[in-house]
Amino acid sequence: MARLYDPQNGSVTYGDVDLKMATMSSLRERIVVVPQEGFLFNGTIRDNLRIAKASATDDEIDAAIAAIGATEHFATFPDGLDTEVRERGSRLSAGERQLVALARAALVDPAVLVLDEATSNLDPGTESEVEHALERLMTGRTVIVVAHRLSTIQRADHIAVIADARVAEYGTHDELIAKNGRYHALATAWQKSQATS
């Protein structure tokens, strides 16, 4: 969807537009991908937020952070948003790096948000804060979630189970559980793994 890869066969469309025909800049204004590990560069938190929108004012950055509910969290840093994060964000926890990635997405305010395992690599100290930020960020937009965590998946309005590069099952959590197919088997296995861990 974000054209990180183009399909070998067929097409991916947004509305009636083949995404191969869209410019990369127009896609980046409409579609934001939040990966499993939010990548940060050497510099401040503010610098890393401006990667998403170079022209962002301080007020826009503050609004993006407020939109995900992380104002208080970033205020606890010694220099606030001007705190140096070092290369790859090594001064921040995994959850804090993910909060920066989510604030970047809020700064762009995309029509489509793609979450690629965005909650799979969190530290316990920020997990609930990141989950709350995601809830706020997902409101009012199309969200595509790539996930293996049942707690993330079951909240979706529509779930597509992909197997062998095809949609094997499609429906809501309850519909797919009732079908007793692949999704049911995956959900059951996930629940068993959680019970034993």
Q: Which of residues 48 and 131 earns the better pLDDT score?
A: 48
Pairing of strands 166-171, 13-14: unpaired
- Paired strand residues for 113: 32, 143
Report pTM: 0.80
Domains present along the chain, CATH in parentheses: 23-148 (3.40.50.300), 149-196 (no CATH)
Please write the tens of the pLDDT for every residue from 139-154: 888 888 887 778 778 8
According to the model, what pLDDT value does residue 118 have? 65
How far apart are alpha carbons 48 and 53 in whole angstroms? Answer: 10
Per-residue CA distances from 84 to 56, 68, 75, 160 (Å): 19, 21, 14, 40
Read off the pLDDT band of 183 (50, 70, 90).
very high
According to the model, what pLDDT value does residue 180 have? 95
Please write the tens of the pLDDT for every residue from 30-74: 888 888 887 889 999 999 999 999 999 999 999 999 998 889 989
Given a contact cutoff of 8 angstroms between Cβ atoms, the answer to whether 91 and 83 are in contact is: yes
Quick one: what percent of the chain has pLDDT higher than 70? 94
Q: Which of residues 151 and 136 earns the better pLDDT score?
A: 136
Is the per-residue pLDDT at 104 higher than 90?
yes
Read off the pLDDT band of 105 (50, 70, 90).
very high
The three-state secondary structure class of 3 is: coil
Per-residue CA distances from 139 to 43, 76, 182, 186 (Å): 30, 26, 29, 27
According to the model, what pLDDT value does residue 15 have? 82
Given a contact cutoff of 8 angstroms between Cβ atoms, the answer to whether 147 and 153 are in contact is: yes
The structure tokens 């947004």 sit at: 14
Tell me the chain's radius of gyration from C-alpha atoms.
18
Token pair for residue 49?
A: 């937020």
The phi and psi torsions of 62 (rounded to 5 degrees) equal: -60, -40
